[in-house]
Amino acid sequence: GESVGLHLPTLSVQEGDNSIINCAYSNSASDYFIWYKQESGKGPQFIIDIRSNMDKRQGQRVTVLLNKTVKHLSLQIAATQPGDSAVYFCAENGDSNYQLIWGAGTKLIIKP
């Protein structure tokens, strides 16, 4: 069936280093791929998205890369800060614009 999955459930990164969170997807019909960040005690918060006709998109300190050949999505966070500690979810729209398919999430831990 359709699925979006994470390669690593937990990622520990030294403060100041770059973080890379990976995601695999299976639905070639997806038009949008989205990254959400969920901090403790809060709901998920939109970070950045990318359309299927793009390979790369940059935001403030974050970059999303899309490799459609291998159905792979990644989120890169530059100069990781303590405030980046959270669970990061990837999602795709699949065949619909009315709901998303969610990955299991990767917990990012920042080491001082």
Partner 1 sequence: ETGVTQTPRHLVMGMTNKKSLKCEQHLGHNAMYWYKQSAKKPLELMFVYNFKEQTENNSVPSRFSPECPNSSHLFLHLHTLQPEDSALYLCASSQAGQANEQYFGPGTRLTVT
Residues that bind partner 1 (CB under 8 A): 4, 9, 32, 34, 41-46, 49, 89, 91, 93, 96-100, 102-105
Q: Within 13 Å, how many C-alpha atoms sit on residue 95's CB side?
A: 3
**Min CB(61)–partner 1 separation in Å:** 20
Cα separations in angstroms, 39 against 63, 85, 109: 19, 7, 11
**Min CB(97)–partner 1 separation in Å:** 5
User: Which CB atom, from 11 or from 80, has the smaller least distance to partner 1?
Assistant: 11
User: Which CB atom, from 7 or from 49, has the smaller least distance to partner 1?
Assistant: 49
